[in-house]
């Protein structure tokens, strides 16, 4: 307590003076040359180095200086080591989290990726320099400058190493490809006929506006297509297994993004404009850290990940790029038959094959370590077995996970090359290495090229391969090779007719594509983005700002008319009619002061429960209900059989279930209305939470609109973690904002300095400095490294 | 007068020690002052308490003002202090005072018993 409260040594030392940052002179023998860093009035560092090694050293040092605790904490989480800091947790929650991370193969995949990164001399040097920079900060950190969260949790930082960078990048893979529905779909398949399953879980929605416009040829028909196993009708598409496993820490299904690039023919300036806003969990300290990295050879500005070198989303002096998640299914489960409880052998191709047993040690704060034995098979690690079954027990079933993130890869090389690109072919070269998580890379250059490419190493699958848990007793269901990069969905540098390229996590192509695209894809943001871009001409940056922060809900536009058509107004009370009228007058803008969005959401959620709960009651849990688009399509059919509530003797019609769900939903609407939180901004209650979920260190109750299915994809704790607009004129004009601040210190005024602007739909002008600007009044102070 | 000097000296020396030594050095200084200065134990406690209370309260108040109360407001919400920066500063001072007072008290008893020991034939 004394140490914590001491003004000279305790938490008071984290209370940074709001004025006065003094120039610093630092000496490190590892540096080959001088590095000058200029900090502007937003605390963005502009790093001027003479060579790459010095550049990444200083990037590491600065990441540590501003965000050390966050970097460490996030990599502890990725490595499944939270129990070391937090203890086993209530009901062993943190230990379960940790076991899950290791069993899904996070450390396994990170080590293999690290091997690849170290085998490439360029990325090996990047890692060496970056790690050295981070450790240079840690080694010289005096006790009184220890970040606040270490004090609160009573521990100290350990040394950084290359594996931690690999783990951090792997965690992004987890966030973006870890949310498959294999278990849920398997349980659903068991209770539906094949025909019903196809109707309720279609492989493509009719209203899809794919990333590659329909009719655009971009692939060569393969000589050989992936072959469905001959026994799949009996062993795969019918009931053959189930799983009562609730996945731990399942990534948010809305982890995704928007990006688009407008061609010169459509902009007022006659130069392309590129936009990107990645949608992720909104946390403090922020995931992103703005930087400019400059050497005599190249110059790049954008957002970086504290934990990894390079700029991840941004622009060079000639080109810009951005990413959205591809959302392809690259994580599949296989049903393993162990010979006995020892897990030493499993059935494969008619024989008992020896599994690779590995013992993981989990150090737990204040307790004895926990040991977990994991069996590695030809498919991958057996994530779920008798000793680990998610949050609930399962009766049987050992499930091995085959995840693309397990394979060696070098995504860092892609970022390295993107940071240096000067033209379209540099961009093509840069993204070739990118394996997992597959991303839609959008590109624009000052020369006028725009392009989009869904790049990743995707397994070549047959129709519905990987939708369910697959038999794991032979080779029949293994992935049959990868799709060659040239056949990945893309829209080329050849001027696209429509004058723009875009992606919003929708399906990249329709079902004429010869390989199964799997996964479940958001539909609506792609529709509204393309609608706007088609209509627009003489596009300016201001147009793009309005578009990126647009709150129009095209899903409501689709669904509400169907609901309103089917409601029996004659059965409604005055109170119920009041809410219905409010809804009718809503013009589908999910603005913070509107009441329509909450009424619509409460009603639609209730409708989904009313339609599906009775039918899936009999299934093993968990299940995944059909997508919203599917339900709306089904409701248009008056003979929709699932409208019937099977627990009642009468047969309900679509009108019955729509009306009943509205009446059931009204009490909740009235309750919320009574509390004064029916307005969308208050109902949604957006907030940016500290990683430890401590209220006083968070920024809660922000008034901002938007939501799922909307370009401004801001939900409660999830949304646009970075918004960027880049116009590629001779002198690039770029704008950006993220909900946080450059400093990870809650005692700094730069901890949350951008949040109000972000919530208000404002942007900051991104300043690309040259050394000639060093006396500009925007520069607050500088660090000189020797 | 002597008390005022003792208090001032304790504050200065504790602050100086804190620049180079870990946080416990403030207790050590308070302890040593009481060992070497002749005071009744009650007075020793008082001077120890007052000097450390003043030192930490003033330092915390100064840091807090420079910081525009950003961190103190957050910490005072995290701990059950109703978000009051002032309360947090006072708690800081109080804890220092208690530590300082006890250290001084210990010191003064040590002095007393040492003198008794020396006085024995």
pLDDT of residue A475: 93
* Average pLDDT rounded to a whole number, residues A752-772: 96
**Residues near A164 by Cβ (< 8 Å), separated by ≥ 6?**
A71, A75, A79, A307
pLDDT in tens, B43-56: 888 989 999 999 99
* Average pLDDT rounded to a whole number, residues A348-356: 95
Lowest mean pLDDT among A214-228, A382-396, A760-774: A382-396
Nearest CA to A213 out of A1, A500, A409 is that of A500
Q: Please check whether residue A609 is in contact with residue A170, taking contact to mean a CB–CB distance below 8 angstroms.
A: no
Q: What is the pTM of this model?
A: 0.95
Of A10, A694, A747, the CB nearest to B67: A747
Nearest CA to A502 out of A243, A291, A257 is that of A257
Mean model confidence pLDDT for chain A: 94
Alpha-carbon distance of A209 to A521, in angstroms, equals: 11
Nearest CA to A705 out of A656, A743, A760 is that of A760
**Residues near A375 by Cβ (< 8 Å), separated by ≥ 6?**
A336, A338, A343, A344, A346, A355, A356, A357, A381, A382, A385, A398, A400
Residue to mutate among B25, B26, B54, B70, with most A CBs inside 10 A, is: B70
pLDDT in tens, A702-713: 999 999 999 999
pLDDT of residue A396: 57
Alpha-carbon distance of A271 to A266, in angstroms, equals: 9
Q: Is the per-residue pLDDT at A48 higher than 60?
A: yes
With cut-offs at 50, 70 and 90, classify the pLDDT of residue B121.
Answer: low
Of A7, A11, A16, the CB nearest to B75: A11
Of A5, A18, A696, the CB nearest to B78: A696
Is position A668 within any domain?
yes
Alpha-carbon distance of B12 to B14, in angstroms, equals: 6
Residues of A in Cβ contact (< 8 Å) with B63: 7, 12-13, 15, 17
Output the CA angle A26-A285-A99, nearest 5 degrees. 110
Burial of A674 (0-12, 13-18, 19+ CB in 10 A): exposed
**Residues near A263 by Cβ (< 8 Å), separated by ≥ 6?**
A272, A448, A450, A495, A496, A499, A500
Alpha-carbon distance of A405 to A174, in angstroms, equals: 8
Alpha-carbon distance of A237 to A262, in angstroms, equals: 43
With cut-offs at 50, 70 and 90, classify the pLDDT of residue A433.
Answer: confident
- Domain holding A631: CATH number? 1.10.1400
Residues of B in Cβ contact (< 8 Å) with A752: none
Residue A75 belongs to what H/E stretch?
helix A52-78
With cut-offs at 50, 70 and 90, classify the pLDDT of residue B108.
Answer: confident
Alpha-carbon distance of B97 to B50, in angstroms, equals: 6
Residue to mutate among A5, A145, A689, with most B CBs inside 10 A, is: A5
pLDDT in tens, A246-284: 888 899 989 999 999 999 999 999 999 999 999 999 999
Alpha-carbon distance of A80 to A626, in angstroms, equals: 32
Count of domains forming chain A = 1
Residues of B in Cβ contact (< 8 Å) with A15: 63-64, 66-67, 70-72
Taking CB atoms and an 8 Å limit, are B68 and A14 in contact across chains? Answer: no
Alpha-carbon distance of A238 to A194, in angstroms, equals: 8
Q: Please check whether residue A784 is in contact with residue A36, taking contact to mean a CB–CB distance below 8 angstroms.
A: yes
Burial of A399 (0-12, 13-18, 19+ CB in 10 A): buried
pLDDT in tens, A511-538: 899 999 987 899 999 999 999 999 999 9
3-state SS class at A325: strand
**Residues near A391 by Cβ (< 8 Å), separated by ≥ 6?**
A96, A246, A248
**In Å, how far is A694's CA from the nearest CA of chain B?**
8
Q: Please check whether residue B54 is in contact with residue B93, taking contact to mean a CB–CB distance below 8 angstroms.
A: yes
* Average pLDDT rounded to a whole number, residues A144-150: 94
Q: Where are the beta strands (DSSP E) in A228-326?
A: 256-262, 273-281, 283-284, 289-294, 299-304, 313-316, 319-325
Sign of CA dihedral A217, A221, A222, A224: positive
Is position A295 within any domain?
no
Residue to mutate among A9, A12, A19, A690, with most B CBs inside 10 A, is: A12
Burial of A736 (0-12, 13-18, 19+ CB in 10 A): buried
Is position A731 within any domain?
no
Tokens 């970056």 belong to residue = A130
Alpha-carbon distance of A77 to A94, in angstroms, equals: 10
DSSP chain B: -HHHHHHHHHHHHHHHHHHHS-TTHHHHHHHHHHHHS---HHHHHHHHHHHHHHHHHHHHHHHHHHTTTHHHHHHHHHTTSTT-HHHHHHHHHHHHHHHHHHHHHHHHHHHHHHHHHHH--
* Average pLDDT rounded to a whole number, residues A603-627: 94
Mean model confidence pLDDT for chain B: 90
Residue A501 belongs to what H/E stretch?
strand A500-503
**Residues near A486 by Cβ (< 8 Å), separated by ≥ 6?**
A219, A220
Is position A297 within any domain?
no
Q: Tell me the Ramachandran region of residue A89: left when phi exceeds 0, alpha when psi lies from -120 to 50, beta otherwise.
A: left
> Would you tell me how many other CB atoms lie within 10 Å of the CB of residue A638?
10
Residues of A in Cβ contact (< 8 Å) with B60: 7, 12
Residue to mutate among A4, A6, A142, A748, with most B CBs inside 10 A, is: A6
Q: Where are the beta strands (DSSP E) in A652-778?
A: 686-690, 699-702, 718-720, 723-727, 733-737, 764-765
Residue A598 belongs to what H/E stretch?
helix A596-616
Q: Which domain holds residue A625?
A: 554-684
Of A6, A17, A746, the CB nearest to B74: A746
Q: Please check whether residue B115 is in contact with residue B41, taking contact to mean a CB–CB distance below 8 angstroms.
A: no
Q: Is the per-residue pLDDT at A210 higher than 80?
A: yes
Question: Kind of pairing, strands A779-785 and A24-26?
Answer: parallel
Taking CB atoms and an 8 Å limit, are B70 and A9 in contact across chains? Answer: no
> How far is C-alpha A202 from the geometric centre of its chain's CA atoms?
24
> Which residues of B touch chain A, with CB atoms under 8 Å apart?
15, 18-19, 22-24, 26-27, 56, 59-60, 63-64, 66-68, 70-72, 74-75, 77-78, 91-92, 95-96, 99
């Amino acid at each position: 307590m004394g140490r914590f409260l001491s003004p000279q040594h305790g938490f008071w030392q984290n209370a940074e003076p709001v004025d006065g940052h003094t120039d610093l002179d630092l000496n490190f023998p590892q540096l080959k040359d001088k590095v000058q860093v200029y900090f502007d009035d937003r605390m963005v560092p502009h790093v001027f180095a003479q060579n790459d090694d010095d550049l990444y050293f200083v990037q590491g040092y600065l990441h540590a200086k501003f965000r050390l605790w966050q970097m460490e904490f996030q990599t502890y989480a990725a490595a499944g080591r939270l129990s070391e800091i937090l203890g086993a947790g209530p009901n062993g929650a943190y230990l379960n989290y940790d076991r899950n991370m290791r069993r899904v193969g996070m450390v396994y995949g990170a080590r293999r990726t690290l091997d690849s990164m170290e085998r490439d001399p360029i990325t090996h040097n990047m890692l060496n320099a970056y790690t050295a920079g981070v450790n240079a900060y840690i080694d010289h950190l005096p006790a009184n400058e220890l970040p606040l969260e270490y004090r609160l949790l009573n521990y100290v930082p350990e040394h950084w190493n290359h594996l931690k960078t690999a783990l951090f990048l792997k965690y992004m893979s987890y966030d973006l490809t870890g949310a498959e529905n294999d278990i849920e779909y398997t349980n659903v398949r068991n209770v539906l006929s094949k025909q019903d399953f196809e109707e309720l879980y279609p492989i493509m929605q009719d209203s899809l506006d794919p990333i590659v416009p329909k009719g655009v040829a971009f692939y060569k028909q393969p000589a050989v297509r992936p072959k469905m196993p001959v026994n799949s009708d009996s062993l795969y598409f019918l009931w053959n297994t189930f799983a009562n496993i609730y996945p731990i820490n399942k990534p948010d299904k809305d982890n995704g993004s928007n990006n688009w690039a407008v061609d010169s023919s459509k902009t007022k300036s006659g130069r392309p404009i590129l936009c990107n806003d990645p949608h992720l969990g909104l946390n403090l300290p922020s995931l992103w850290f703005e930087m400019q990295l400059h050497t005599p050879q190249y110059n790049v500005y954008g957002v970086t990940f504290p934990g990894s070198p390079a700029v991840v989303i941004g622009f060079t002096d000639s080109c810009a790029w951005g990413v959205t998640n591809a959302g392809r299914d690259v994580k599949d489960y296989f049903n393993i038959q162990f010979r006995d409880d020892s897990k030493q052998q499993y059935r494969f191709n008619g024989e008992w094959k020896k599994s690779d047993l590995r013992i993981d040690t989990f150090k737990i704060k204040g307790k004895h370590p926990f040991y977990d034995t994991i069996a590695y098979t030809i498919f991958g690690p057996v994530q779920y077995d008798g000793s680990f079954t998610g949050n609930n027990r399962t009766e049987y079933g050992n499930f091995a996970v085959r995840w693309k993130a397990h394979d060696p890869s070098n995504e860092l090389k892609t970022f390295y090359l993107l940071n240096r690109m000067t033209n379209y072919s540099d961009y093509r070269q840069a993204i070739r290495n990118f394996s997992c998580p597959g991303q839609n890379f959008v590109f624009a250059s000052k020369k006028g090229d725009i392009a989009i490419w869904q790049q990743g190493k995707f397994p070549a699958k047959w129709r519905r391969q990987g939708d369910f848990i697959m038999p794991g007793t032979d080779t029949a269901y293994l992935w049959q090779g990868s799709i060659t990069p040239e056949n990945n969905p893309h829209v080329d540098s050849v001027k696209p007719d429509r004058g723009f390229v875009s992606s919003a996590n929708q399906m990249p192509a329709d079902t004429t594509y010869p390989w199964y695209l799997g996964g479940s894809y958001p539909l609506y943001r792609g529709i509204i983005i393309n609608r706007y871009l088609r209509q627009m001409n003489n596009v300016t940056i201001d147009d793009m700002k309005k578009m990126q922060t647009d709150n129009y809900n095209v899903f409501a536009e689709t669904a509400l008319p169907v609901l309103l058509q089917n409601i029996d107004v004659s059965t409604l009370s005055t109170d119920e009619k009041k809410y219905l009228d409010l809804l009718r007058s809503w013009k589908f803008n999910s603005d913070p002061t509107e009441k329509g969005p909450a009424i619509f959401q409460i009603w639609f959620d209730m409708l989904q429960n009313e339609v599906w709960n009775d039918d899936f009651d009999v299934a093993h849990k968990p299940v995944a209900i059909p997508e919203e688009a599917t339900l709306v399509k089904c409701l248009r059919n008056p003979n929709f059989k699932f409208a019937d509530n099977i627990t009642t003797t009468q047969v309900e019609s679509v009108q019955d279930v729509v009306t009943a769900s509205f009446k059931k939903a009204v009490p909740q609407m009235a309750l919320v209305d009574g509390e004064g939180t029916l307005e969308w901004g208050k109902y949604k209650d957006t907030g940016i939470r500290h990683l430890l979920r401590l209220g006083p260190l968070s920024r809660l109750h922000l008034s901002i609109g938007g939501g799922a299915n909307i370009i401004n994809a801001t939900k409660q704790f999830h949304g646009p973690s970075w918004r960027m607009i880049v116009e590629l004129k001779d002198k690039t004009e770029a704008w950006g904002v993220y909900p946080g601040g450059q400093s990870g210190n809650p005692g700094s005024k730069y901890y949350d300095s951008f949040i109000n602007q972000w919530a208000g739909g404002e942007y900051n002008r991104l300043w690309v400095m040259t050394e000639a600007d060093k006396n500009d009044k925007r520069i607050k102070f500088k660090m000189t490294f020797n | 007068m002597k008390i005022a000097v003792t208090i001032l000296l304790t504050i200065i020396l504790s602050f100086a020690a804190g620049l180079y030594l870990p946080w416990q050095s403030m207790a050590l200084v308070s302890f040593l002052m009481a060992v070497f200065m002749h005071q009744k134990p009650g007075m020793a406690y008082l001077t120890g308490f007052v000097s450390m209370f003043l030192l930490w309260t003033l330092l915390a108040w100064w840091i807090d003002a420079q910081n525009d109360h950003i961190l103190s407001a957050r910490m005072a919400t995290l701990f059950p202090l109703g978000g009051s920066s002032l309360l947090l500063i006072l708690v800081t001072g109080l804890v220092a005072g208690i530590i300082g007072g006890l250290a001084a008290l210990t010191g003064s008893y040590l002095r007393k018993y040492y003198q008794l020991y020396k006085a024995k034939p």
